[in-house]
Each structure stands twice: as structure tokens, then as C-alpha cells.
Structure 1
């Protein structure tokens, strides 16, 4: 196992792959102080104000003179001018087609989409109906008719903290509307019961709209006030679920091309290994799926900040590249008007894992997107209609970002983590990928795949990416993930709240 690594010949920092004591020598550099695993140290003298490079890219500038072999971290690096040449569409390279077409065992829906799970959902229009939605789901799962179902995975109550005390016309309202409509149409649901209070800002008729909420029409809605209170709503809700369960239970798994997989890609609790192991391995797997005609969604706009130029170069048209830059500009304004800053991210845990500025974190995060052309850019929770590699605007806050990806149509989530994030996202299974072997061994009950062996055992990124791609197919076909086995998914529906709460 190597003890340090230099990721690019232009880099002026090396990365420790083990805890290094002062006086440790590797790659022609002798450390002058203790360097924790995943952290950086200078491989030459760096002057005050000089740019610091990792991946061959700028991650910040030195705030003081840094001697060769010294620790490079938040005490001596800060954000710097990171203006980049966007070079729209200059590096668009189509992926080679695979020699064979793969399938998974999924649920084909009437609108042509495919589910990897088959749940019934109890969706809420407002926080005020959240408890009643849970009452309905809990009581329905105790019934004999539910226990007799063969093809339904469960009943998911989807409660949230919004839907009222908000404007009924602004960006926040439209974002919540898209999110709830997207969940109602997600192919991992075989039926949806929508429950409101009755007097909320986000009215049920507006949410349902003029068309059918679902192509299979396996949809019911009610309000607590109109139905006559909590007890009557629970009773009526259970009966509605029983009727919808008969339709949902008629679905059975069948062979479906992997081109119908839509995978939301996330990273959370990142560390210094994320951009070396798990994220680039996921990038390989993403390219494999895209080559098979599938779709992968990169998100977390605040966590590509400073690395957006790597994506604009792969945009299929300059217009698509500009759509991404428009979202970056929106975020700069969003942070300014809310008295925040883009470099508020990385988190304290990220920094303990070796990351410093958002530029460094972003450069590692975009590796999840592989090398495929960027086909389009979508708003949060907007339905993804293009095949291939796409981007969906979202915060870096993982539960919110995943909520948007599921609303956009994701039927599988892949989540890389270096510190050990734990979560799940019903109705969509979530594969957890560990960036380092130490954390994987410590939290093996939560992690589905270890990519630390890329460092420990010299496993190639290509081999690990292929292993992850095969896991996509197995999980999509019904193999249970660790987060599913632990019962996660009841608290991770977190719509993005934009605008004033009134």
C-alpha cells in the first residue's frame, strides 16, 4: 500500500494515504509534521498568495508561506480567484457502445417508465396532514389484506414541513409543486393516496391539476376537513389503499433493459479519499450505464462550484453549458441575498477528513459524472426527459438533493461517503459506497460497497466501476441494500424550501 499519492504532475500537494509521522519520506518529499490520512502536504515550497493545486486544478491560495513537507489545510489555505475558461462543448466525446445489452428485473409502468420497487405511497400536501398520513400507513400495514400482498414492498407515508405559511405564486411554491407531483409519478410507486388538510396554501386541486396525476390512474385524494376529521380520514384512507393495492399487486418483475434505469448520484460526509476512490469509481459506473442507454443525474450545485468548467466543456451544446452557468449565477445571488457564502461548504466533518475549500470538494465531487457528454440541465425536481448524463440543480444538503432527484424520476440512488453518512430514501433504494477501508470496516452494517481497496489493494477504477455497475443491476432487480434492511426512508423526504415562511 502506498503511503502518499500525487494526483497530477502539476500538483504542489501530495495526499497522505496513511497517518504519517514527521520525517516520513515518499515521492521525494519528507514530512515536517504529522499528516493525517486523507490530508495534504506540500511537495515543494509554496509562497504566500500562490495557488495550491490538486487534480491539476486550483483549490485555493496559500495564506502564508508553506514549507516543503508541511501540512496544507484550513490554517494556511483559503479561497482564491477561480475564474475558469468554460470552453463550452469543446470536449464532447460520445461513449463507445457496449457489445451486449443488459437487463434488470423491474416493474414496467403504463407510461413506459420502470420501477425498481413497488410501493404504495401516502403523499401529503402540507405538514398539517403528515401525522394522519402516518396513521393511515401504519394501520393499513396491520391489516390482513396488506399481509396477503405478494408484490407490494410496503406503504410509505411522505410527510414534510411545508405547504402553507408560504406564497402561493413564487419560486418556492412552484418548486414544492414540482416535487410533490414528481413523487406521485415516480415509477417506484404502484399507487398514490394524496392527503391534505383542506385550508392550506398548496391546494389539492391545484396539485392534481387538469390532467391525470398518474398514467395508471391508481391515484386517490382527500382532505381531512372535508372527510370529517382524523378518524374518518384514516378509515377512508385505509379503504382507498386496499383498492389501490389490488392494482399495484398485479405488477410483477419482468426483464427490462438497463436503459430504463435513472440513477441519482450523491456524495455526503466526503473526505480526502472521495475524489480518489469512490467518486471516480462511480464515474466509471455512470459511463457504463450511459453507454447502455441509461440515465445518471449529478446534482448539488453548491458542490460543483469551482469545477463547473469541467462540465461545460462536455455540454452537448453551448446552450446546455450556459444553462449550468445560469444556475451557478442564481446560486451566487441566492447566497448573497441570504447572507451566506458558497465556501460555507465543506462541513466540519469534511474538513476533518482532509478537505479545505469548496473548490477542492467540488473537483472531487464532479468525478461522479464520469466522462459522458452532458445532455441537459434541469431545475430542482423537474422531470428528466433526456437519456444520458444530466445535471439537476439542488442544494448540497443530501436529503434535499436526493428528494429532488427522486421527484425528477430516479429509480435508484448511489451515495458515496467518506465519513459514514447513514440514510435511505423510500421508495427508491440507496447504495452506500465507502471511500476508505477503515470506515467501511467500522460501519460495515451501513455500507454496501468498499472502494478503499483501490488504495489498499491496487484495484483499478475500471474494475471497481464495473463492480458497482453490476450492483446497480442486482439492486434494481430486488436485492436489498443495507439502508433498506435497517428500515431507513421514513424521515428523508426533505423538499427544498425557497422563500419566506409567513
Structure 2
């Protein structure tokens, strides 16, 4: 990465540079024995051509093609959606050719976590109210709302009561793929180590029956001491006699549970038991330059310490998957990733859509032009570690190291899937300023630029924009983030937790039709 006062050249083979702040017409970049002046204003994160680009020629960023010129582009011109199209990359895939062995840390690191009776490590201690269907969402919310701060003051070791409600649970095939996917997601939260105890609330006549959920996944209250029957607590509104009676009984049941849930203490646990979910949302043209590479450094440090880091959002891997097949530990792992890429191509075609519709309005305003560009930046969150596994949505993550989970590119269902898979920490990068939390797991938000960080300082935990400002390196910010992961896992609250954010972001993915 090289730069002058205002632009960054990210790779010697690139034919564009990236603005590291808002730049006026006439701002210049010098390199490769030439000086190029901007012909118009270039906004933060946007791109300027530094050499003539013929129509049909590849636009290169990070040393990789991110699209193709739809018209001739002269040096100094802005390079964006008005003169760039998607085209066809025509990747030739390599397999298992870029396996990097990371040196182990000099000493074993620990965090102050909660050790559950089943042996798993928790970073928080919540009570969950799990709705089987949207029809029971209001009842779950009323039960949770009864446990305000004043009531929970009596239980200082309980982080809160969260209603895990959603918009689905009916109008799909009983026992079909969508039903099983929802059940897997709900079971992942019920069995999550950060859930000290849970109550399942259904309506009674829905497709997503509570009995199917508990039987299919052999749910037991493993995390709760004192529950000799080990049976999960289940209520159906129709059986209880309506909403008011369901809420009254649910509150009473949880009041009995809280003293038991409160009987925990934090103890030293190896960092190797952390499972990190990595996510980017509200991305901009500098996401792949600052925050995401810094997350990649933290991810590698965690993997080197024996932990697990999850890269998700397969539609935002699209176009950069060839870089990951090279890092796959086996050909079978690479083939599974490519099979998921093909699934998304077919899925989009069924609805007459294109995956390149993924970059949002905000992404494009922030300088991202195509899905290929967005994907190359998103992949940076995965660092350089070997790829050890590819998981289906909400599948339990059992492999140590760097792994991928197949989730959509929309933040709430993506993080929901990773948490259901066992992630006990979330790191979320943003350039435009996403406000995100995800109870029962803490979310660390990393800003890609200082302008947004200072504007939204109450929501951002770490400023990776210091890399653009020349105040820190990617490595330094990544190491700082790694230390923050340990502190947050040990109980330090994130900005989203301080504001109570995370009740509404539970969002199970339903890819199939609703009848």
C-alpha cells in the first residue's frame, strides 16, 4: 500500500487509486513516474483512474479485477457505477496452494469467561425466551419486558432476558428444508453457552411445533444447574388460555429460574475456546483497506491461539472465492465452497435477480462499485489462515481455525446464523455507520474511517480510520482489536451493549417460499 497526501495505491498492478478523504478537483497522485490530477471531486473511499483504461478492460483494485470499463476512462476520471460494469471474471481455480502456518503465541492467553456444566465457554449470561412462530412473538416480548433493570439488579450475574422472536414459523412444509433450518437456528440459540436458561413459547397450531424443535434436537436444559428433569420449559398460548395467562405464567417461571441462572462466576478460560463471528455492514470503499484487514489480523491471532474465526456472507465472497480455494486445507473443503457459490447463482436466477444487486445504495455512495470489489474487501476479514471447513447456515461449528458459514449478505440473518452455530463474540465493521447488536452475544463495531467514527462515536468501539490518517498500521489496529476481543469476552461492555441494542436483530433465514 502506497500513498501521497490523499490517495492510496493498494497494489502495484492497480489502475486506480482510492481517496482516503474527500478530495477536491485538482488533487494529485504521483507514482509510477507519472502525476495524475483529479478531473472532479473524489469522495472518501471512491476511485480515480491513474492510467488510460480502454472499454472492456479490467478495473483492478487489490491487484484483482473488480469489474470492466463500459467506456474509455482517462487518467484523473472517477471510476464508479457510471463507467464500470460487472462482466465475467473467468477465474481459474487453484486448490490448497496458499497454506500459511501461523506461529503459536509465546504464551497461552485466557479470558474471564463462564464455564457451563456441559463444559462450553460463555462470554455472557442471558435468559432466552424462544418463539416458535411469529404468533407468539408478542407474548415473548411481554415476558421479557417484565424483567427491567430494577428487577434484574437482584441478579448481578444475569446480563438480561432476551425475547428471541421472529417473523416466521408457519406457511412452509412440515419437516421440510425451511422448517428444519428454522429448528436448527432456534436450537442453536437454546443450546448456546451464553444462554443460561430458556423458555420456549409457541401458539399451538403452527407448523414449527415446539415438540418438533425439542425432539429433533434433543433439547435439554444442559446449562441450568438444579433442573433435575433436564427438560426444556415449553408453553403454548392456546393451552394456557390466551396471551395474558401465558405471560403471567412465563414471568412466574422465569422468576423461579433467575436465582439459579445467577449462580455463575467468571473464571480463566483459554482464548482457544473463543468462536468469533466476523461481519461487515454499511461498507464503503475503505472497508477492505482498513477495518476488514485489521479484523483479518485479529482473526489470525485468534486462530494462532487455537480459537475459531468465522467468515460468512457467501454472496459477498462471490468473485473472490478463487483466493479462498487456494487456502483450503483440502480439495473437498474448496469444492464445498464452490458448490455454495453455485447455489447462490442458481438461487438468484430463480427470482430473475443478479448477485451484483447486493451492493446497497449506501455501499455505492461509499465508493463500492461492484460485488467483486465488495467481496475482495469482505474476504480480508478472514486473514491469511488456512480454510478448515465450510458450514451450512446455523450448523454447529466444531472445527478449530478459520472457517466459512454459508449465510446471506444481510447482516441480521447472517449474524443470527453464526451465533446459532456457536459464535460467542461478534466483530462488525462498518464504513457508513451500521448500529448493530446481537443479544446474547456482544458485538464490537469497528469504523473504517475517522470521519464516521467521530460522528457516531457513541456506537463505534474502535477506529480503524487511523490507518487512513497515517496514525496506525493495519497490524497495530488488528492487535488492538485482538486485545479488545479478550476484554469484551471477559465482560467489558461494548457500545451496543451499553445502549441495550440487540433485542430486535434475531432474524432466522428462510430461503424458500412462504405458502
Which TM class, normalised by the smaller chain length? over 0.9
Query: What is the SS of the residue equivalent to 1:241?
Result: helix
Residues 241-390 of structure 1: pairs in structure 2 closer than 5 A: 241-390=254-403
Q: Deviations over 1:280-324 (max 9, x none)?
A: 000000000010111111000111100011111111100001111
Alignment check: 8 A CA contact 1:106 1:114 kept: yes
1:77 pairs with one of 75, 84, 92: 84
Do structure 1's residue 181 and structure 2's residue 187 form an aligned pair?
yes
1:138 pairs with one of 132, 139, 145: 145
Residue 81 of structure 1: how far off its partner (Å):
1.1
Provide the residue aligned with 1:206 in structure 2: 212
Provide the residue aligned with 2:135 in structure 1: 128
Do structure 1's residue 408 and structure 2's residue 421 form an aligned pair?
yes
Provide the residue aligned with 2:227 in structure 1: none
Provide the residue aligned with 1:12 in structure 2: 15
Q: Deviations over 1:391-450 (max 9, x none)?
A: 000110001101101101011110000000002101111000000000001000110000
Residue 487 of structure 1: how far off its partner (Å):
1.2
Residue 143 of structure 1: how far off its partner (Å):
7.9
Unaligned runs of 5+ in 1: none
Quickly say closer, same or farther: Cα 1:64–1:143, change in 2 above 3 A: closer
Q: Deviations over 1:159-204 (max 9, x none)?
A: 1000011122332212111110101011111001011011000111
Distance 1:218 1:349 in 2: 46
Residue 325 of structure 1: how far off its partner (Å):
0.6
Query: What is the SS of the residue equivalent to 1:452?
Result: helix
Residue 19 of structure 1: how far off its partner (Å):
2.2
Alignment check: 8 A CA contact 1:266 1:415 kept: yes
Q: Deviations over 1:22-42 (max 9, x none)?
A: 322222222222211211111
Alignment check: 8 A CA contact 1:126 1:196 kept: yes
Query: What is the SS of the residue equivalent to 1:60?
Result: strand
Do structure 1's residue 153 and structure 2's residue 166 form an aligned pair?
no
More off after superposition, 245-254 vs 304-313: 245-254
1:439 pairs with one of 452, 462, 468: 452
Compute the TM-score of the two structures, normalised by the length of structure 1. 0.97
The number of aligned residues is: 501
Alignment check: 8 A CA contact 1:278 1:434 kept: yes
Unaligned runs of 5+ in 2: 224-229
Quickly say closer, same or farther: Cα 1:142–1:277, change in 2 above 3 A: closer
Residue 8 of structure 1: how far off its partner (Å):
0.6
1:96 pairs with one of 77, 82, 103: 103
Alignment check: 8 A CA contact 1:171 1:498 kept: no
Distance 2:269 2:288 in 1: 32
2:170 pairs with one of 142, 150, 164: 164
Do structure 1's residue 115 and structure 2's residue 118 form an aligned pair?
no
1:55 pairs with one of 59, 62, 83: 62
Distance 2:418 2:248 in 1: 32
Residue 142 of structure 1: how far off its partner (Å):
7.5
2:5 pairs with one of 2, 5, 8: 2
Query: What is the SS of the residue equivalent to 1:455?
Result: coil
Quickly say closer, same or farther: Cα 1:130–1:179, change in 2 above 3 A: same
More off after superposition, 204-213 vs 189-198: 204-213
Distance 1:338 1:247 in 2: 49
Q: Deviations over 1:68-91 (max 9, x none)?
A: 111111000000211212211111
More off after superposition, 22-31 vs 435-444: 22-31
Distance 1:191 1:19 in 2: 50
Compute the TM-score of the two structures, normalised by the length of structure 2. 0.95
Residue 138 of structure 1: how far off its partner (Å):
1.7
Alignment check: 8 A CA contact 1:218 1:247 kept: no
1:24 pairs with one of 5, 18, 27: 27
Alignment check: 8 A CA contact 1:184 1:213 kept: no
Alignment check: 8 A CA contact 1:312 1:321 kept: yes
Query: What is the SS of the residue equivalent to 1:242?
Result: helix
Alignment check: 8 A CA contact 2:287 2:430 kept: yes
More off after superposition, 323-332 vs 231-240: 231-240
1:455 pairs with one of 462, 468, 474: 468
Distance 2:100 2:15 in 1: 30
Provide the residue aligned with 2:75 in structure 1: 68
Distance 1:417 1:346 in 2: 14
Query: What is the SS of the residue equivalent to 1:53?
Result: strand
Alignment check: 8 A CA contact 2:26 2:40 kept: yes
Distance 2:302 2:374 in 1: 25
Query: What is the SS of the residue equivalent to 1:101?
Result: coil
User: CA RMSD for the aligned pairs?
Assistant: 1.3
